[in-house]
Amino acid sequence: MKFGHVFKETLKNEGFPPAWVESAISYSQLKKCINRLTTELAAVGLTPTTLGALLKHVEDYNAATAVEDEPRPFEYILSEQPGPGSDALAHGRAARKPFHPKLLFHVSEATGELLSATLDEDTRKKLQMLAVESGISDRRVFEEPDADRKSLACHETTHVPRPGNGAPRQRPGCRTVEIPLTSDSEFFAKLAAELSGLEALQARERRDMHTQIEALGKQVAKLTDPDHRSNRKILAVWRQIFQAYVESGIFFGTTEQDHTAHDADKATVRFHEFANKIASTGLVDKLKKPENVRALNTFMNINREILQGLRFGEINRMAMMKILKKFDKQTALGVKASFPAKIEYPEFSEHLAKAVCAEVNTQILAHVPQIDDYSCPMCMDLKWRPVKLRCGHTFCIRCLIVMQNEKQHKCPLCREPTVVDANSDNLDLALAEFLKKWFPDEVKAKQKYNERMAGIDEYGEVYDGKCMVM
Partner 1 sequence: MSLPKRIIKETERLMADPVPGISAVPHEDNLRYFDVTIEGPSQSPYEKGIFQLELFLPDDYPMTPPKIRFLTKIYHPNIDRLGRICLDVLKSNWSPALQIRTILLSIQALLGAPNPDDPLANDVAQDWKKDEKGAIETARQWTQQYAK
Positions touching partner 1 (CB under 8 A) are: 255-257, 377-381, 399, 402-403, 406, 408, 410, 412-413, 415, 461
- Compute the distance between CA of residue 456 and CA of residue 442 in angstroms, rounded to an integer: 21
Residue 303 Cβ, how far from partner 1 at the closest point, in Å?
22
Choice between 234 and 419, CB closer to partner 1: 419
Strand arrangement, sheet containing 74-77: 74-77, 102-108, 174-179
Checking phi first, is residue 332 left (phi over 0); if not, alpha (psi -120 to 50) or beta? left
Choice between 124 and 410, CB closer to partner 1: 410
Choice between 56 and 259, CB closer to partner 1: 259
- Compute the distance between CA of residue 422 and CA of residue 409 in angstroms, rounded to an integer: 10
User: Prior bond to 204 cis, omega within 30?
Assistant: no
Choice between 406 and 425, CB closer to partner 1: 406
Write out the H or E segment, with its range, that includes residue 44.
none
Choice between 125 and 415, CB closer to partner 1: 415
Choice between 53 and 244, CB closer to partner 1: 244
How buried is 411 (Cβ within 10 angstroms: 0-12 exposed, 13-18 middle, 19+ buried)?
buried
Residue 179 Cβ, how far from partner 1 at the closest point, in Å?
53
Q: Give which of 443, 434, 402 is closest to 419, Cα–Cα.
A: 402
What Å distances lie between residue 67 and 70, 84, 102, 105, 242, CA to CA? 6, 20, 23, 18, 62
Q: Give which of 278, 297, 270 is closest to 239, Cα–Cα.
A: 278
Residue 449 Cβ, how far from partner 1 at the closest point, in Å?
9
Residue 1 Cβ, how far from partner 1 at the closest point, in Å?
39
Are β-strands 174-179 and 386-388 bridged in parallel, bridged antiparallel, or unpaired?
unpaired
Choice between 69 and 451, CB closer to partner 1: 451
What Å distances lie between residue 299 and 227, 249, 424, CA to CA? 23, 15, 43
Residue 443 Cβ, how far from partner 1 at the closest point, in Å?
15
* DSSP H helical ranges for 44-143: 48-65, 88-93, 121-137
Contact 334, 76 (CB under 8 A): yes
**DSSP state for residue 261 in the 8-state scheme:** B
Residue 383 Cβ, how far from partner 1 at the closest point, in Å?
13
Choice between 216 and 403, CB closer to partner 1: 403
The helix/strand/coil state of 98 is: coil
Choice between 256 and 458, CB closer to partner 1: 256
Residue 277 Cβ, how far from partner 1 at the closest point, in Å?
14
What Å distances lie between residue 450 and 384, 393, 412, 437, 454, CA to CA? 9, 20, 20, 19, 6
Residue 360 Cβ, how far from partner 1 at the closest point, in Å?
22
Residue 281 Cβ, how far from partner 1 at the closest point, in Å?
17
